[in-house]
Chains A and B, each alone.
Chain A
Amino acid sequence: DAGVIQSPRHEVTEMGQEVTLRCKPISGHNSLFWYRQTMMRGLELLIYFNNNVPIDDSGMPEDRFSAKMPNASFSTLKIQPSEPRDSAVYFCASSSGTSGSVKNIQYFGAGTRLSVL
């Protein structure tokens, strides 16, 4: 299995630009998670989907952030407009299980390092 695939690996953009991060979960997994990692705040859960439906988006920092999962094999996290404080590493993770809950093992992608200048 190829694992969770994220693209791009690195993204550098200017303040005010739209940024789209992409994630392909492990085939057969029914839950997908987006995390943000910064030095100041550590790893934070932004949103998670179960069977392509957003279950908990309470971690999404503000309206500039949006996430979609149009099908079981693809998800995007969009930031519009981007700001320098959005600079972080963004991880996508997926898991499987009958409960589809966060109690199942999550497998992480390699992350996208975002720099907003």
Chain B
Amino acid sequence: AQTVTQSQPEMSVQEAETVTLSCTYDTSESDYYLFWYKQPPSRQMILVIRQEAYKQQNATENRFSVNFQKAAKSFSLKISDSQLGDAAMYFCAYSGNKLVFGAGTILRVKS
């Protein structure tokens, strides 16, 4: 069975600084997708970024980028120029034949 591990229960970053959230996964599948979702206090799940496993190029979405290391089964999220609105719970998710979520990382942004 596929598993997703987020080893950082909580992270803090100073406004305007950069922070990296870690994610590793385990799978025997070769074709899959990886996602980062953001859940602010409103509890709405918002897609941040998506990465197809067959693409070597790391996905980027404005201030958000990923470091996808397929061999290491690692999928970290980098947030540049952090803003107060980035404060939320961040979930890493693996999608093969099922969507599996990690336990989440709480990100706090200090002003």
Instruction: Name A's B-contacting residues (CB within 8 A).
Output: 33, 42-43, 45, 56, 89, 91, 93, 101-103, 105-108, 110-111, 113
**Closest B residue, CB atoms, query A91:** B45
Which residues of B in the span 6-63 have a Cβ within 8 Å of any Cβ on A? 32-33, 35, 37, 42-47, 50
Complex interface: chain B residues within 8 A of A45 (CB): 98-100
A105 with B50: in contact, given A42-B104, A89-B43 (CB under 8 Å)? yes
CB closest chain-B residue, reference A111: B43
Name the B residues within 8 Å of A106 (CB-CB): 47, 99
Count B interface residues, CB 8 Å.
Answer: 22
Q: Which 9 A-B pairs have the closest CB atoms?
A: A108-B45, A43-B101, A102-B99, A103-B33, A102-B95, A42-B103, A103-B95, A110-B44, A111-B43
| Chain B positions within 8 Å of A91 at CB level | 45
Overall SS of chain A's interface: strand
B111 at the interface (CB under 8 A from A): no
A86 to B60, CA, bound (A): 38
A-B contact sample (11 more), CB < 8 A, given A89-B43, A108-B44? A42-B102, A45-B98, A45-B99, A45-B100, A93-B45, A103-B32, A103-B95, A110-B43, A111-B43, A111-B44, A113-B43
| Segment 76-111 of B: residues with Cβ below 8 Å from A | 91, 95-104
